[in-house]
Amino acid sequence: MPALWISHAQVIDPASRRNAVGDLFVRDGLVVPSLSAAERKRAKKIEAGGLVACPGLVDIHVHFREPGQTHKESIGTGTRAAAAGGFTTVVCMPNTAPPADNAGTIQFIKDAAARDAVVRVYPTGCITVGRSGQALAPFGSLKRAGVVALTDDGDCVQSNELMRRAAEYARMFDLPIMDHCQDQSMTAGAVMNEGVMSTRLGLRGWTNAAEDLVVARNAILSGYTGAHIHLQHISSAGAVEIIRRAKADGLRITAEASPHHFALTDDALASYDTAFKMNPPLRTEADRKAIIAGLRDGTLDCIATDHAPHTNYEKDREFDSAPFGVIGLETALAVSLEVLVRQNRFSIPRVVDLLTRRPASIVGLRAGTLAVGAPADICLFDPKGRWTYDAKAGFSKSSNSPWHGQTLTGKVRLTVVGGRIVFDGARIV
């Protein structure tokens, strides 16, 4: 593998507090302080004036559908979409078929990643057997198999007692629990946010309380057990405030926000377009602003895409019948730059932090930094680069994106994993 020399980039690495125009050097897959004169002559040099070089992005919430649902996505296609979006590390959810509730399925995922992935893939294991919410999965064997967290994502553990036991055991094995916060007794048949728009469209509404109650439950259980509980894809202003209070009390709670929830509202559903149908649903402008405020003050710890592929024939149905979920890996950086930097005056280093160091720290990954000696996982992007996103021509196997056909600003020019270029701005290398 030749050495790599990225020259004259704006190097942003929140983990090492670096933010300056300079050079980035890579040898043997690692970030190094410099290259010798002889090495520089042989190195692959990339002139990066006007571009930002940051750690490869980290997404701790993706659905790659393998095993069992590879008509929607596979580890191969999903990681290619990740690379095109600047992501070098992803954490896969266990709602596969069969569910990842045992060491054998975890090994299958790891083998598929070793064979087909172009970025780093880490598996999670189920909290309950079959994600059924009835009995705990074997946490010990899942930990030995290599999971980095436990979650029934897509299904929330409804039993408070079972969730308490899960938190106790997860703490014993030093694994965070990730929870999809939804009281299912309050959302039966619901397909969008409960409010003015759901009434106007005649669709069954989904109350914020269904999220808020479970967020509060998890905060209480974290305090009771000492477990680290991570709250997924927060969408409600009430939930943001509960998390803010929990953190003020010193509880081991972390939380994420997804780009669609801080960029869009339920007004986007006016045309019944199922590309905007997701779980939790798009909410109101007040909720959207609360999520942005939570990202600004640290109440919400990171950005995660909840990349959830579905085929066109599954999404092209009546709104009530279509599945929940949108893809987001290829657009997350551009959407975050547009909404947070240009519209809400976040700094670019702050957004980079939300997409690198912070998510990596939640699950204890050796990622999200360009410190000397770290794996050379790098995202090189043009913060002013304009491009039109064609989801149907993207790298994901599915195209269910709310940003299909839109012109976005912020273009990934290069993605490097372990010192090897895997995306050159146009194609997977």
Q: Which of these is catalytic: 179, 301, 306, 353?
A: 306
Q: For residues 251 and 216, give the distance between their C-alpha atoms in angstroms, rounded to a whole number.
A: 12
Q: For residues 4 and 425, give the distance between their C-alpha atoms in angstroms, rounded to a whole number.
A: 17
Laid out side by side, the sheet with 87-92 consists of 57-62, 87-92, 120-123
Enumerate residues 6+ apart whose C-beta is below 8 A from 375.
Answer: 29, 30, 31, 366, 367, 418, 419
Q: For residues 278 and 73, give the distance between their C-alpha atoms in angstroms, rounded to a whole number.
A: 17
In contact, 60 and 91? CB cutoff 8 Å? yes
306 given a catalytic annotation: yes
Q: For residues 15 and 50, give the distance between their C-alpha atoms in angstroms, rounded to a whole number.
A: 22
DSSP states of 177-199 = EEE----GGG-TT--EESSHHHH
Return the DSSP state at 428.
B
Q: Please classify residue 221 by burial: count the beta carbons closer than 10 Å to its beta carbon, then call 0-12 exposed, 13-18 middle and 19+ buried.
A: buried
Catalytic residues: 306
